[in-house]
Chains A and B, each alone.
Chain A
Amino acid sequence: MPEINERGYAKPEFLVSTEWVSQHKDDAGIQVVESNEDPLLYRSGHVPGATEIDWAADLNDPLRRDYLDRAGFEALMSRKGISNETTVVFYGDKTNWWACYAFWVFQLFGHTNARVMDGGRTKWEKEGRDLSRNVPDVTPSSYTAPVRDDRSVRAFRDDVLSLLNDDGKLIDVRSPQEFSGERLHMPDYPNEGALRGGHIPSAKNVPWAQAANPDDGTFKTADELKAIYEHGAGLAQNDDVVAYCRIGERSSHTWFVLKYLLGYGSVRNYDGSWTEWGNSVGVPIER
């Protein structure tokens, strides 16, 4: 696989290699953050010096189906020792699903000084790099966040409905079986409660995993990604694109690909995704 800066990405600065992390993880101003699906994985061993942000416990509002508000994000950043100037490097299991999801939530608060570690935890482990069970002592930081801005990178149900009329481009990143309505959940995963199967009308099915190399989870080159999303799914740079999946985690991966690796100007993640759409009364569904 070519080096990151040789893959033709639009914004390669948002992606770092495992080697880069190995060399810079202890630098002042760098904070490595692990985000996983499995809640015990971090504490079983992690990149030395990394802290954990749990998608369910840390990023979501405990009552409403929504994300932290400004005060909650500021408190989280303080607990993790992250300041406004900190470069946050995300990585995790599941080929960086949750790392991209956490990265995306950070963008709701404008923390653009963020990176994703290419290949995530799988690549780090395959390379035989150190893992530590020591949870770093954190000196609480001071962090000032703006009011959460959902407009630029987050789509809601009504935004998607309006896209249907405005010829926007929808990318459904779930498995072909979920897209067709044959399944209400991805193979081997639980059903998280949608009443109807199928997909949002006009959506193109591009399973998220097509963007990653299966052996180590690294992102494919820009040319390979263009072949998938542009030649294959008909997207173009200036399209207003919304990606969705089941609860917004797999589509965060695709959102990252389209926005940073291919440099699309308008890409939003519909985190309500199929668990909202497939339960909503009266919205159109295709099979």
Chain B
Amino acid sequence: MAHMPEKLKHVLDELDGLGADERADYLVEFSNEFQDVPARVAERPFPDEHRVPKCESEAYVWAEDRADGTLDFHYAVENRHGISARAVATLLKDTLSREPLEDVAAVSPEIVSRIFGRQLSMGKGEGLTGIVEMTVAEAKKRLKDRA
């Protein structure tokens, strides 16, 4: 039975205990640690099939297959002011890479509202949710291919 990856659960639990300003600073630190997709995986111009629909920060998602059957996730965020998208991308990369596919596939896109709180605007929320959805979709696709 799938369960939330422990690293993701830990981050979400930490965020739950933070006030708005602390939460923002915590997420900015994730954004500062953002690493662009490595050249061995993709180079600009990035193909549209990796672009996150509805994301105004122009985010891209890749999943790199590992020998043990898990995935390493990689991201690009082309909007220089896309701090929130970089934070989400780094958080997902750190907490979902190399986790069992069943667990990644079971992650709910609703974690975005848990990450940012209820103040997130509708438009921004949709874009960030799209990054999670596309990440989860990569895991679902592998599971389907292997079934």
> Contact residues of A with B, CB < 8 Å?
36-41, 43-44, 54-57, 93-94, 121, 125, 133, 135, 188-193, 247
Contact = CB atoms under 8 A, between A and B. Distances in A.
B56 to A, nearest CB: 5
Contact of B119 (A36, A44, A56): A56
B3 to A, nearest CB: 29
Contacts of A36: 81
Contacts of A55: 121
Contacts of B27: 40
Given A43-B28, A44-B83, A121-B81, A38 B123 contact: no
B84 A188 contact: no
B21 interface: yes
A190 B24 contact: no
Contacts of B18: none
Q: Which applies to chain A's interface (DSSP): helix, strand, loop or mixed?
A: loop
Contact of A190 (B28, B83, B123): B123
Given A44-B31, A191-B54, A39 B126 contact: no
Contacts of A247: 123
B120 interface: yes
16 contacts: A36-B81, A37-B121, A37-B124, A38-B81, A39-B121, A40-B83, A40-B84, A41-B84, A43-B21, A43-B25, A44-B31, A188-B56, A189-B54, A190-B54, A191-B54, A247-B123
A38 B84 contact: yes
Interface in B59-91: 80-84, 87
Contacts of B87: 40
Nearest to A121: B81
A43 B26 CA distance: 10
Interface in B110-140: 116, 119-124, 126-127, 130
Given A54-B119, A135-B21, A41 B54 contact: no
Closest 4 CB pairs of A and B: A190-B126, A40-B83, A190-B54, A57-B119
B23 to A, nearest CB: 10
Interface in B10-45: 20-21, 24-25, 27-28, 31-32
Given A44-B83, A191-B54, A38 B122 contact: no
A96 to B, nearest CB: 12
B102 interface: no
A189 B54 CA distance: 5
B105 interface: no
A93 B119 contact: no
A187 B120 CA distance: 20
B124 A38 contact: yes
A247 B122 CA distance: 11
